[in-house]
Structure 1
């Protein structure tokens, strides 16, 4: 059968294979193919631009198409379920939605094809409350909501009922890491368990990361994850970002505002944090008939109130969030 694939030299194949696994891009239902000089790694889908940048970072790869043999005896989830629902994997836990038909059957299928999964949870609430958490019920496996998740060489202890975490922003977080220059200071206003702060401290030349969160459980995990990843130059702060901004006025070269739905309430504080020429990475949930304009207007107004102005660097859709709604990122330079 013909499939899209990554072509990479045999000498460089193993790190690319491992990264494809981490990105859930390697199609394990097909056997890896080779010729005298190259490996052909079958894909579940075409990588997006950020994923391609990551794959090309240390090894030279090529998108291609090749013939593959199927692995005999290894089922695909499509073989076990008539309709495959969306699910997320966090560590050894799989998350499904509460309205999935026959959730026990879905859980059994997932655990059959993914033997490393120990728990299947269904969300029984939306993201809610001051700390943006969800409630879950156990569908199969071990009755727990805590796990350790690995992402781009970093590890995160997290309890999904105590601190919000999604693996769906992995490539977005990696994209931000690449923008940090030597000697810069980064303020992560809503740091959670550290999925932006820790890779910035570990994989960029930043001078310092100031990681703020109001959720005491998130900050507890953040501090554990700082130690787990052996990173330095992170200051973990439990507090309200609007208040903490007073202590760090004009120190930030980058301000990360990953609090969709509510980030606009912290724009005055974000502007206050900005050193001259600083970049704000602003995340929002917006409707398809006003993806960027309304949010840019809010950012510009906050800058104007502080006697400053903005210059748009980039406007991009990160992912689909709900019908006719999108998770967007707007990056502006504060002048």
Structure 2
């Protein structure tokens, strides 16, 4: 059978395969092809441009003939439409508007043998602590799990703290920019997916991880122990206030709070050491992806008597119709 696929050098194949798995784009019903120096990774669907931008390394989007994985149960064998879902540890997340959720959940558990629970989201991300409400559709009655990502482990209760696996590749991209002797301020650290990955790179990196949600900080501290990252300082508090204690110390400031990060820009600039980089995340309309957000960052720097320069701006992923999750990286002089 002929399928869309990604052609990549064998030496770069494993990270790309993991990234495709995280985005639920790798088609496990087809056997990966090895030819010469290249691998051909079969896709479940044509990737969106934002998804392709999340894939590191050199690769080519193409087509190839694939053999079916014999004995591999497929969603097509059980359902008319392939369901969209996220995997967090051994939990699968579906939306509450899925038709026949019990049937979909049953199919997920049969095809994805590692899934022990299927949850349906009963609300959007909401409230001060950015949490969601879920109901158990199938499997074990729980909302907690341990998620593995790029060699790190994260304990998480999905109803008590926000977490998404869809930013795994983005977190890895930020990691590549950080040197062993630097200080990183993660202003909205959650359970620690940025902080812990960065801290594991080198014990000489200092990570200041802040979050206002006491449950998130509880899990963050647990994850610090789970990953042996004693160079993470887990702080429960408002980032606007905590920034006063670490003024001028950070070489990198991570602002992963889409929708509300603009409310913390003055604090982010205060955290910045000379020539520090702010990694600012936002949800923006497709007709104004970067300009308005960049202007807010420039104004905050100017207010503090500093200057700023754009390092990079990029689309991270689609968020909603005509809205995109973007990252703007600015150096504060």
Q: Same fold (TM over 0.5)?
A: yes
Gapped runs of 5+ residues in structure 2? none
Q: CA deviation at 1:85?
A: 3.3
Structure 2 CA distance, aligned partners of 1:69 and 1:17?
Answer: 20
Alpha-carbon spacing, 1:257–1:5, altered in 2? closer, same or farther (3 Å): closer
What is residue 52 of structure 1 aligned with on the other side?
A: 56
State whether residues 17 and 41 of structure 2, in contact with CA within 8 Å, keep that contact through their aligned partners in structure 1.
Answer: no
Task: State the number of aligned residues.
Answer: 326
Q: CA deviation at 1:98?
A: 0.8
The question of 1:146 aligning with 2:150 is answered no
Alpha-carbon spacing, 1:256–1:14, altered in 2? closer, same or farther (3 Å): closer
What is residue 226 of structure 1 aligned with on the other side?
A: 224
Q: 1:281 aligns with which of 274, 279, 282?
A: 279
Structure 2 CA distance, aligned partners of 1:214 and 1:293?
Answer: 29
State whether residues 33 and 40 of structure 1, in contact with CA within 8 Å, keep that contact through their aligned partners in structure 2.
Answer: yes
Q: How does 1:242-321 map to 2 (within 5 A)?
A: 242-321=240-319
The question of 1:131 aligning with 2:135 is answered no
Structure 1 CA distance, aligned partners of 2:238 and 2:166?
Answer: 25
Q: Which has the higher contact order (CA 8 A, sep 6+)?
A: 2
- Could you list the per-position Cα deviations for residues 87-134 of structure 1 after superposition, in whole angstroms to 9, with x for gaps in the alignment? 111000011111111111111111111011011101111111111100
TM-score (norm 2): 0.90
Alpha-carbon spacing, 1:68–1:84, altered in 2? closer, same or farther (3 Å): closer
State whether residues 53 and 315 of structure 2, in contact with CA within 8 Å, keep that contact through their aligned partners in structure 1.
Answer: no
Alpha-carbon spacing, 1:100–1:281, altered in 2? closer, same or farther (3 Å): same
The question of 1:118 aligning with 2:116 is answered yes
State whether residues 16 and 55 of structure 2, in contact with CA within 8 Å, keep that contact through their aligned partners in structure 1.
Answer: no
Q: CA deviation at 1:33?
A: 3.8
Structure 2 CA distance, aligned partners of 1:16 and 1:321?
Answer: 24
Alpha-carbon spacing, 1:33–1:311, altered in 2? closer, same or farther (3 Å): closer
TM-score (norm 1): 0.90
SS at match of 2:309: strand
What is residue 323 of structure 1 aligned with on the other side?
A: 321
Alpha-carbon spacing, 1:151–1:102, altered in 2? closer, same or farther (3 Å): same
Structure 1 CA distance, aligned partners of 2:219 and 2:53?
Answer: 31
What is residue 19 of structure 1 aligned with on the other side?
A: 18
Q: CA deviation at 1:62?
A: 7.6
Q: 1:236 aligns with which of 225, 234, 237?
A: 234
SS at match of 1:181: coil
Q: RMSD value over aligned CA atoms?
A: 2.3
Structure 1 CA distance, aligned partners of 2:28 and 2:164?
Answer: 23
> Larger deviation: 38-47 or 67-76?
38-47
Structure 1 CA distance, aligned partners of 2:151 and 2:74?
Answer: 27
SS at match of 2:56: helix
Structure 2 CA distance, aligned partners of 1:14 and 1:292?
Answer: 32
Q: CA deviation at 1:50?
A: 4.3
Structure 1 CA distance, aligned partners of 2:19 and 2:7?
Answer: 9
> Larger deviation: 299-308 or 162-171?
299-308
Structure 1 CA distance, aligned partners of 2:164 and 2:85?
Answer: 11
SS at match of 1:196: helix
